[in-house]
Amino acid sequence: MIIPTVNAQNNALILEWEQHWPTYGVGGTCNFGTHNFFVGDVDADGVVELVTGGMTYSGDYHGASEVEAPFGIWNWDGQNFTLEAYHPWKGLLRTIHADDLDGNGKPEIITGGYVSNTTDSSSLIQVWNWDNEDIVMKSSFEGISAASIHTGDVDDDGIAEIFAAGTIVRNNTAFARLCVLRWDGENTSLLKSYEWRAGEGAGAKSVCVSDLDSDGVLEVVTGGYDYGLTNSSGQLRVWQWDGEELQLKANEEWRLVEDGYGVTVTGDPMGNTLVENVKVGDVDGDGVSELVTGGFAFDGEKVNAQLRIWSWNSMNLILEGSREWFVEDITEVKAVALSDVNDDGDLEILVSGGTAVYGGFDVDTKPEAAFLTIWNWDGEMLRLQHEEDWTIGEGVFAWNVGAGDVDNDGNTEIVTVGCMYVNQLCDPDLRIWSLFVSESAGPPEYFVFAVAGIMVAVLTVLGLYFGVKKLK
């Protein structure tokens, strides 16, 4: 599919750095999960760090108990890429966020993942502190499986709450779940848990805390799906938390076509429509925040990447704009970030993901390709400003994207990380990009995304892990 870019600038994405993990070629590491990467100053030293998660395994990986969570904190000064801290444990790390929870001026790192032993595993939320020397776990709360974590003082009591979105399985049925937790400086406690489903199964994939209607009150936004994977609807919800109860204020669901679903490269159901990532920000400069969702939608034949812009008027969610596109059989938006990457004073929409062909396990199929796109929303139209796609090894997927001045040069860099693979050995293939912007505006352009597919190796390893542990 060809996507027109209207009034595109003469932008050029420059690859400044590509980083492989120490396991490259001898073992495997995958930074999967669409909220499994954080860009920010996590030790209050004035330097932006990159925090990564996922899973790592040896070259002779045999079972889930041998998988480790590779919790790492990195630094890049423009020339040297340094692993500042590494704290692995048996299990995996699914989601990462950082915020100053106790108001002492120093951020905490909040993670969601699993801890495993030879016979069992448990989901958990952990609070960490990094002082530029040691990673110290301050608190751990078991029993909550989180795909996404965000924070904010939603009930205005002076203490930031932790909001965790995920899935819980009861009697072989998946329920979407939103949990509210609090860390008091020593212990983490569960304040509220809310579960829902309307059909065969539901899941909450993303959570974001922000003041949507500029009334001084923070809302909680979740994105995911409902009605099971064989006919899933994309789902976007707005909640309010008053310190005691979660109140659902708005709910929107949608599909491109009814009664159908896309399949993975192995032929398993992957859903009809699904939201992978939600971000909130004033992307058109009108003083009111928009909600940006990224995911996929099935059109009856192929799985399309989908990017949507929404607004909330204190009562209803309003769809402002939508863009769908495909390359091969499967095209997915995995992650979304909002940042002013061209220094024009406006937020750009950064989107990462990948593409795949059906039957990816077959010999001689096209390799997976990752993509990074930069979009602009002017209040009326989504305009594609730049696109970059690439493949490496036997395939690659850009699961996560973030942005920040990571080398302290005064310019904002874009960072993608996810998974590439060779012979079922994965590597996060972290890439640091900078955007060169020409002062002259170019004519309208057209481009075609490169051929792609979805990660065979990652599906294999994740399938083994979750098959053994029966986790969601």
Task: Give the separation between CA 31 and CA 25, rounded to whole angstroms.
Answer: 16
Task: Give the separation between CA 402 and CA 407, rounded to whole angstroms.
Answer: 14
What confidence score (pLDDT) does residue 118 get? 75
Q: What is the CATH number of the domain that holds 240?
A: 2.130.10.10
Task: Give the separation between CA 36 and CA 341, rounded to whole angstroms.
Answer: 21
> E strands of 202-356, at which residues?
203-210, 219-226, 233-241, 246-254, 262-263, 269-271, 273-281, 290-298, 303-312, 317-325, 330-339, 348-356
Q: C-alpha dihedral over 453, 458, 462, 465, to 10 degrees?
A: 150
Total of domains in the chain = 1
Task: Give the separation between CA 357 and CA 465, rounded to whole angstroms.
Answer: 24
Note whether 305 and 324 are within 8 A (CB): yes
Give, as one character, the DSSP assignment of residue 54.
B
What confidence score (pLDDT) does residue 6 get? 40
Secondary structure (3-state) at 192? strand
Tell me the pLDDT tens digit for each residue of 147-202. Answer: 999 999 999 999 999 999 999 999 999 999 999 999 999 999 999 999 999 999 99
Which residues constitute the domain of residue 266? 2-469
The tokens describing 170, both together, are 């009861």
Alpha helices in 154-245 (DSSP H): none
Rg value, the chain, Cα: 21
What confidence score (pLDDT) does residue 11 get? 63
* Consecutive 10-residue averages of pLDDT for the chain (472 residues): 42 92 95 98 97 92 80 97 97 98 95 90 97 95 98 95 97 97 97 96 98 96 98 98 97 96 92 99 97 98 98 97 96 99 96 90 80 97 96 96 98 98 94 78 36 39 42 36
**E strand or H helix at 458, and its extent?**
helix 456-469
Give burial (CB, 10 Å; 0-12/13-18/19+) of 451.
middle
Tell me the pLDDT tens digit for each residue of 105-153. Answer: 999 999 999 999 878 899 999 999 999 999 999 999 999 999 999 999 9
Residue 140 pairs in a beta bridge with 126
Note whether 312 and 212 are within 8 A (CB): yes
What confidence score (pLDDT) does residue 1 get? 35
What confidence score (pLDDT) does residue 3 get? 46
